[in-house]
Structure 1
């Protein structure tokens, strides 16, 4: 009787309206509504129009709302336990009827290409697709589009039953996650895929949540600079020329140098990586559709800022929860192993650092977790095909933490604490539901200890009890830092739990600062004054890659003029060997900002000879002494090539050395800070790609192989510690 009264009331409401009631695209036939909640339903109608919504699962499953002055209405529809199919009816002037609606668990799947990677591209694709007959799993995809302001609706690939006909083009990580939930919980599951390959986290985050972050504001400023100079006609002409060159190269049997692949550069302000553009277009329109939680697979696009990702990930989670008005669960994938297998006990860089950010977020932000995948990557493929393992591990987290299931390992071991005593490091873990173990019962591999000398060595490790690993090495009497699996691709690491899930890479401790200038050059240490100091193995840029971040910046204390400008770089390799070079010269500029790292903000760009040079070094291949002439600088923030445009005597045309050419087409670009002795055909101090941390190029003397100035070597990862000083003599 109550249900009939609701229907009669709604019929009466319809007669007075003048415009059709409309729902956003996230609603549709075959959708899944989140079970046992007050599911938000919203849309548009005439201002002041009353809209009613009913669900066929119960007589009292009904709610009414009145459209506001902008024509928007929203209400909450109480949903039952899992079941269906049902009909949802929306009545205003017109009637919208949504059929074959299920009630169950709804999850949002988002991120970049590894979330977007389809079932059809995963392992055993043909078998997986053929077996994907799950009528109670429903799939919806949000179309790839950007927006400069938050949108209220979006284009989608509508809700549909999961079947062999459509699963091949759906997110593999999301599908395998949802399939396990469906099988283990025995309820309908709805998955919303909103992902875009090659995108950064700042694009998925609302601008209001990140507008105070100087890293992100710098990124946005860089995009805005490109927008100010963007010429669509020139972009089109370049694309057509590149396409012609590419087609001719292919038609000619791919002879000669491969040309640039044709790619149309669209308007920068509308780019998918412009901060907030994807949130505006692909997340905001989906909210506040009722979901249990979200899964996130992204980070490759932010690996160059791995440490900062910790801040960005929590910001994204918090802003999405605020938008939905719910502290829903968020589970994310820690990036897998990738690139060349490691050669050293520790190889710091963006990928191990971003893995640490995932781990720390999972342990510090409530109702989150991270699926550990250090064992399922591929050295030469940034899109590993084993998405079955990824989905399984995400689902294990949800089954335990969200749904309260027990009796299985839900996560790989994550370290909780570490102590150093008696020449050992003792690491205690949250084991994730099963005791610690070594894969296949082998000796533990992947641990490193660092002593007071700053040199990491491979270490022995044994499991003690169910949750502790004891790490030691006869080479390290007083360890101050321990690492595990700390590299881009730490192949072979084998700490797991008895459920077979891998442990997270981690580090604990602190390495003593490398400070050897006064040790090797005590007279110069007394005579020269420090302007800038930094670790060349951890260089980073901010403000849209335009400003270098120094450990010490005393430039405000100096007015000039100076008698001499000097540079000192020291490196300690993985064996503990220390090398250094010191170069002093007559001033080549009176601008104190331009004697430091030539980041874009400084305006420094020098390809010039320098006079009055003195070189001191313990590197045999570097000629030491006084050189009134014969030395030169190559300082720039841009890309550069090997051609000897400056006609430096002895420089080669096709080798990166002491005579290269600066390219003005990309600034900021690769960047170099090089001091050469061209008469000796030597590089002395080289620091390139200076915003890339352990991917920087650093070197003393000539590099071997295809370059002489360390370009493209990413050599910073081969050193344990470094020191760089920029000095003046007043």
Structure 2
């Protein structure tokens, strides 16, 4: 539940609106002086419009009114429908400007000035796309020297919605690049456009829609998610949440409980949310102050990322139990699922925000009332953050009944896995960021989209493949059927390994590589070597921007260059060795820091069978040898969260590009390929 949907907030808003109307008789006159804008908010001063394609323009006008638009000597008209919406199309324009756009309907007129025509890019994803210029490498110098009127910036407000929105709920503004506007803008997005403009000399419009920690599912529209065939239950809950939140939460609680009952190691009748079965499990007394469980002094929790159950009881009189009430829990890090008297009442994503859940009428009872919270933590600190004084039942008459009897807790074994996320959650739900941040863009003309996300989905690489395809299809349906998508492969993060390991990060990188390879309008940017083993947010976004621009030059603009470093074209057995051939090599292959490249593995089909292999370079091939090479069925390279990768190409113009991580099967080698 958002604060805006809380009944008390709604009453306050209505009272405030009434007070303003009574105290401000000048409002009607002001409305006449400043009529509602005819154009959608995307069309405002300093905007960039997409060149070389028909220009779709839309907005709102009085129903039935004819709207006329004029731009660069071209004009069109459209009639507003019964809902006031209108849309018109102008002929394509070449890059250039500045231009003025005029929309008129009856006596109303809106003028938008200083419009440029060029290439418009949507930059989206999680925190590594959100990361601002002021947090990037050499930030002070970058900000001080920023000044480019031909790059324009628009940051989409971070808004989560349960249904698709036609426009923004908060103000947005197109701004030319200067030291002030660029400071808080996406570093990856800005450095990309700055680099690309060196070879594509047109104005650039950058639309940044990113949310730190977000999964991919919130960025995809609900109709497209339904095509996957495995999210119907969650999507049904989301639809219901839009019209009846309390009923939807209760419905979701039952789905969550079904998930729990099917977990490995969960015994029959083990239902921690139900007071009748709470004797099951090892419950212990939690510290009175609560706070992050890593600081409790409990060895099992010292570095624990996973789920912990909490429970407590609150005593109410009959008069108290009869009132409407809100359960206040304070912050939880990072996802909670909460029950009162065995019924689900709320679930929220986000470590910093407090939880306030409106309780359905009749749920509370005289005497003891059980409050049960399951908290999932995936990174750093976890748990009910406290202080415990924040936890209370807030009754309709203003009485605050503290949850003062103390909390007990129960640790969930890691093998239980992670629970499903409530579909209305902001950055971890379904379609919520699409609804609040992508849908408001309408059908604005784009040259392409940049996607830097995946850290929050590393536990489900098999599902991510279909989700990444769904995102691509969904955005193409909205913006353009052949919309190019440039995908940043996950950078390295964490300590390197001394032996081959299994890695969710590596699995997801391979999914990104495979999905990009299957579509000519999708490009992959290798970033494995520009990560930071100590920071999940590497600061060298300048090099990332350079690589993004290089991929765009090939995928979007058709330039005959290798887009993103050497790529494997095949692997086959050659006597007692395995040979991997590479394409997209500029110049020759080279190993940095040693006579031969590091990080190659030969594996059989058996789990845990991978072994590091000795590698030899020969032109555009790498020959691999191990004692079990004759048994190998697949080759892996740079396969870890943060591997050491030393294979690059090199030409006369510079150090070249890295070969990215991959896993490929072995295939037979033709006879004429046996000679090196």
Q: Shorter-chain TM-score: what band?
A: 0.5 to 0.7
Change (3 A) 1:432 1:177: farther
SS in 1 for 2:530: coil
Q: How far off is 1:391 after superposition?
A: 1.2
Change (3 A) 1:131 1:405: farther
SS in 2 for 1:146: coil
Q: Taking CA–CA contacts closer than 8 Å with sequence separation of 6 or more, which of the two structures ends up with the larger relative contact order?
A: 2
Spell out, residue by residue over 1:57-98, the C-alpha distance to the aligned partner (whole angstroms, 9 max, x if none).
Answer: xx3x22111222322111122242211111111111211111
Matches for 1:87-486 after TM superposition, within 5 Å? 87-93=100-106, 94-154=108-168, 155-213=170-228, 215-217=230-232, 233-236=326-329, 261=385, 269-344=424-499, 346-406=500-560, 409-431=562-584, 433-439=586-592, 442-451=595-604, 455-466=609-620, 468-486=621-639
Per the alignment, residue 656 of structure 2 pairs with 500
SS in 2 for 1:210: helix
Instruction: Determine the C-alpha separation between the residues in 2 that align with 1:495 and 1:473.
Output: 22
Q: How far off is 1:179 after superposition?
A: 0.7
Q: How far off is 1:142 after superposition?
A: 0.6
Alignment check: 8 A CA contact 1:451 1:477 kept: no
So what's the TM-score if we normalise by structure 1?
0.61
Per the alignment, residue 543 of structure 1 pairs with none
The two structures, once aligned, show a CA RMSD in angstroms of 3.2
Alignment check: 8 A CA contact 2:67 2:104 kept: yes
Instruction: Determine the C-alpha separation between the residues in 2 that align with 1:244 and 1:87.
Output: 43
Instruction: Determine the C-alpha separation between the residues in 2 that align with 1:481 and 1:509.
Output: 4
Instruction: Determine the C-alpha separation between the residues in 1 that align with 2:95 and 2:643.
Output: 43
Instruction: Determine the C-alpha separation between the residues in 2 that align with 1:227 and 1:177.
Output: 45
Alignment check: 8 A CA contact 1:47 1:69 kept: yes
SS in 2 for 1:235: strand
Alignment check: 8 A CA contact 1:226 1:268 kept: no
Matches for 1:687-698 after TM superposition, within 5 Å? none
Q: How far off is 1:220 after superposition?
A: 5.9
Instruction: Determine the C-alpha separation between the residues in 2 that align with 1:400 and 1:176.
Output: 18
- Aligned mate of 1:63, from 76, 83, 99: 76
Change (3 A) 1:105 1:259: closer
Alignment check: 8 A CA contact 2:129 2:210 kept: yes
Give unpaired runs (5+ residues) of structure 2: 1-34, 239-247, 255-323, 334-350, 355-380, 392-420, 668-676
Instruction: Determine the C-alpha separation between the residues in 2 that align with 1:105 and 1:158.
Output: 18
Per the alignment, residue 607 of structure 1 pairs with none
Instruction: Determine the C-alpha separation between the residues in 1 that align with 2:490 and 2:657.
Output: 15
Give unpaired runs (5+ residues) of structure 1: 1-18, 246-256, 512-730
Alignment check: 8 A CA contact 2:648 2:656 kept: no
Alignment check: 8 A CA contact 1:337 1:373 kept: yes
Alignment check: 8 A CA contact 1:336 1:375 kept: yes
SS in 2 for 1:165: helix
Instruction: Determine the C-alpha separation between the residues in 2 that align with 1:303 and 1:91.
Output: 50
Q: How far off is 1:214 after superposition?
A: 5.3
Matches for 1:669-684 after TM superposition, within 5 Å? none
Instruction: Determine the C-alpha separation between the residues in 2 that align with 1:267 and 1:141.
Output: 27
Instruction: Determine the C-alpha separation between the residues in 2 that align with 1:362 and 1:433.
Output: 20
Q: How far off is 1:493 after superposition?
A: 3.5
Instruction: Determine the C-alpha separation between the residues in 1 that align with 2:455 and 2:198.
Output: 31
Q: How far off is 1:429 after superposition?
A: 2.7
Change (3 A) 1:227 1:114: farther
SS in 2 for 1:395: helix
Matched residue count: 476
